[in-house]
Amino acid sequence: MAHLITESRWNVSVGAERASGPEDGLIGKIGRITVSIPRNGPGEVLLPVRGGSEAFTALSDEPIARHSRVVVVEALSARSVLVTPVAL
């Protein structure tokens, strides 16, 4: 059985090949930061999901201020995402 090893600045996981899950639908979604993301720490982002909006833990490679627009670049878990600022 093949193993998938994923590595990012925030976590490392080793396991069987990863099946796509509902969190994969978050990639590419545009949201707004509701709790600023500090350097080396989590914040919070509000994302459109299932006809409404839900808050997710947000991580980034750079600090991001509250009210900034961001795009999800990776779903780290069912409730946490890696984001980057949207260029205006």
- CA nearest neighbour of 75 among 18, 4, 15, 1: 18
Q: Is 67 exposed, middle or buried (0-12, 13-18, 19+ CB in 10 A)?
A: exposed
Q: In the CATH hierarchy, which fold is given to the domain comprising 21-85?
A: OB fold (Dihydrolipoamide Acetyltransferase, E2P) (2.40.50)
Instruction: Return the domain boundaries, the chain.
Output: 21-85
CB 82 within 8 A of CB 10: yes
pTM metric for this prediction? 0.73
pLDDT in tens, the chain (88 residues): 344 434 445 444 444 444 455 566 999 999 999 999 999 899 999 999 989 999 999 999 999 999 999 999 999 999 999 999 998 7
pLDDT score of 13 = 44
pLDDT score of 20 = 52
